[in-house]
Each structure stands twice: as C-alpha cells, then as structure tokens.
Amino acid sequence: MLRAKEVAKWFLLRNKVEQDQDECVESISNLKLQKLLYYAQGIHLAVTDEILFEEDIYAWKHGPVVPDVYDEYKVNKGNPIEVLEDKNNYELTIKVQNDKKAADTLEFVFNEYGQYSAWGLRNMTHNERPWKETPLQNIIDVNLIKDYFREEVVEV
C-alpha cells in the first residue's frame, strides 16, 4: 500500500513529465493536489474495494484534504508546487509501477481529473455527496467515499 505523500509525489512527478513535453500543461497547486488524492482514493475504492492509502481525508472549507500532505506543501500557498530532483523519485516510480492496480488508478485519475483547474476540481467536490454530507473539519468516512464513487462515478 502507498502512503498519501507518495501518491501526492507521484502526481507531481507525472505532471512534470507532461510539462516537459508540453509547456502549456498547468502546474499542480496544493489545492489541486488534494482533490487528485481524493479522486484517486475514491476511484481505487470503487474499482478494487481496497484503499489506495490509509491516511484519512477530511472535509475542509475548500473540499477534501489529507492534512499530512497539505502540511507538506502549504508553504507554496496557492502557487505551483515545484518538483525537485531526488533519487527517491525513481524508487517511487518503480514502486507504483510494481502495483498494477495502483498504477492504473493513478494514471486514470491523472488523465481524467488532472485536466481540470484546482478551482474546477474544488467546485466538483463541493457538489459531491462525501464532502456535502460530512461536517467541516471531520473525517470523510471511507465507506461514504466508496459508495459514492461506486454509485455515481465508476461503472463496476
């Protein structure tokens, strides 16, 4: 199983690859990263019946958030998160590639949801049951996420 910080880093690395090929590709901010984590968890739960990462997702004012990941990148505020070269990047890429279900989920979420802006994703989550039914500052129940994504998002 992956950690939420690893999933976040994977999204940042994957986005950098796209940016290297096309300078028009938008960078990822902390707000956008949080929403990609939420969608990755939801899609993975709906398709595999397994959590992608064990960290809780909370309902915050601007949508679902994984606090540990938020704290990691909050210094960026609303600005793009810069990806630094690191020997662990390669190891993370291999780790994800070796987990086919996780790799499939992450690629799907990146391609499907990565095209939207941070605020576009934020607005999407505000119209979805898991965020709407969870009081602010509380954990969004993983079963609520799974049920919502099974019933409304993914054809299982």
Question: What whole-number percentage of the chain has pLDDT above 90?
Answer: 90
Instruction: Give the model confidence (pLDDT) of 89-140 as tens digits.
Output: 999 999 999 999 999 999 999 999 999 999 999 999 999 999 999 999 999 9
What secondary structure does DSSP assign to 76-137, as a single string? GTTSPPPPPP-HHHHHHHHHHHT-HHHHHHHHHHHHHHTTS-HHHHHHHHHTSHHHHTS-TT
Mean pLDDT calculated for residue range 5-20: 94
**Band of residue 84 on the pLDDT scale cut at 50, 70, 90:** confident
- pLDDT value at position 86? 85
How many domains does one find in the chain? 1
Backbone angles phi, psi at 110, to 5 degrees: -60, -45
65: which strand partners?
58
- pLDDT value at position 40? 98
Helix (H/G/I), strand (E/B), else coil: 2: strand
**Band of residue 85 on the pLDDT scale cut at 50, 70, 90:** confident
Mean pLDDT calculated for residue range 34-61: 98
- pLDDT value at position 156? 59
Question: What whole-number percentage of the chain has pLDDT above 70?
Answer: 99
- Residue-averaged pLDDT of the chain: 95
Say what the pTM is.
0.96
Domain that holds residue 38: 4-153
